Amino acid sequence: MKTPAPATGNCGFTFAALALLFSSCGTFGQSDEEKRRLTLYQQNAANFYEGEKYNQALAEVEKGLEIEAEDYRLHSIAAWCYLRSARGNAQVLAEAEREFDKLYAMRSSSNHGAPVLLGYALCKERLGIMHHDRAQRLREEAAGRDLDVEGRATRNARAIEHENMYRSYFRDADRVFQRLIARGENLRMAYKHSMEISVLEGDYLGAVEEGNLCLQRIEEEKRYQAQIISQTMSVAREREERLLLQDLIEQESRVRSALAEMHFRKENYQLAVEQLNLLLSANPNRANDYYNRARALESLDEEERAHRDYQKFLTITDLPMGDVRVKRAFEFSRQFRGQH
């Protein structure tokens, strides 16, 4: 995956663009040959990273660290390699955390560039999500009927441990996201992930505020991308910019969906409908959004509009007949026709 530029990127950076940031980190006590090899390893590692060849990038990092063990650029590449390749692998994510913690300790927080700050915060957030999900599963197990008193107590105690862990990780992550916001860097990413943390912590007002700020930033970047597309004379450049624009559109949809769900859970049904209206205006083929809007309209006693949305949902959804949402839509429609 090509790492986009910071203004529109979604979760990473081109390390070539950071050359100036790292150029101030001089190397002392090295021969000219060692400096040449170190530069080569840095360049190779960055190029492999850009090509998503993370294992090869890490091999180049290892060679470079044999020359300069505290090389900031190499450690930053290693940290991002682990983060980007971790996916759901807890061990790889732990490696990313170790690298980012090491990087973070190399300088004062104000002297880190946006790439390291963003990576550090994303890593902490992902670790927090892992503990959050584990805590939820333990709470669900504790509430089950198959456990005795001791089993419930054990699972609740373990859940508390994971809850404390995720709150700690979320605090660390959000502190850095807020620092990026204060510096005016990577605003879209910072607002988006700060919103996600607020959602998981049940901070409705904070999540709505951050989600709306994220949407404002997305809209600004969409206008910028559209301007570039209209002005470029290069077919290749236009293709690249259209991909970035599509990424922004998809991020907007995810943020609006999250806002709609939060409004619905807080019984702010009209606000949920407003977000779903915008989603369906942008893409009228989103079956689940018709279902979600129908539920919100049903809660507002707008039964005729809800019926239309349930019918549209049933027309375009590819969910099986046994799905609970399909059953609900059929049942509502049956009752609606019976009353009208």
Provide the terminal-to-terminal Cα distance of the chain, rounded to the nearest Å: 54
State yes or no: pLDDT of 261 exceeds 90: yes
The pLDDT value given to residue 109: 83
CA distance 73 to 116: 10
Query: Which residues have a Cβ under 8 Å from the Cβ of 52 and sit 6 or more positions away?
Result: 1, 84
Q: What is the pLDDT of residues 174-214, one digit of tens each?
A: 999 999 999 999 999 999 999 999 999 999 999 999 999 99
Q: Look at residue 302 and tell me if it is in a domain.
A: yes
pLDDT at res. 75: 96
pLDDT in tens, 7-55: 334 455 555 445 444 444 545 568 899 999 999 999 999 999 999 999 9
Q: Is residue 312 part of a domain?
A: yes
Q: Is residue 309 part of a domain?
A: yes
Domain that holds residue 301: 286-340
* Mean pLDDT value across the chain: 91
Asked if pLDDT for residue 247 goes beyond 90, the answer is: yes
- Confidence class for position 340, pLDDT limits 50, 70, 90: confident
The mean pLDDT value for 256-275 works out to 97
**Residue 191 located in a structural domain:** no
- Concatenated DSSP letters for 52-76? T-HHHHHHHHHHHHHH-TT-HHHHH
Q: Report pLDDT for 147.
A: 87
For residues 82-91, average pLDDT: 93
More confident residue, 264 or 87: 264
pLDDT classification of 336: cutoffs 50, 70, 90 = very high
Helix H or strand E segment including 251: helix 235-265
Neighbouring C-beta atoms of residue 168, cutoff 10 Å: 14
Residue 314 lies in a domain: yes
Question: For position 110, what pLDDT does the model report?
Answer: 87
Domain count, the chain: 1
- Judge whether 292 lies within some domain: yes
* 339 belongs to a structural domain: yes
Write down the pLDDT at residue 2: 32
| Rounded percentage of the chain residues whose pLDDT exceeds 70 | 91
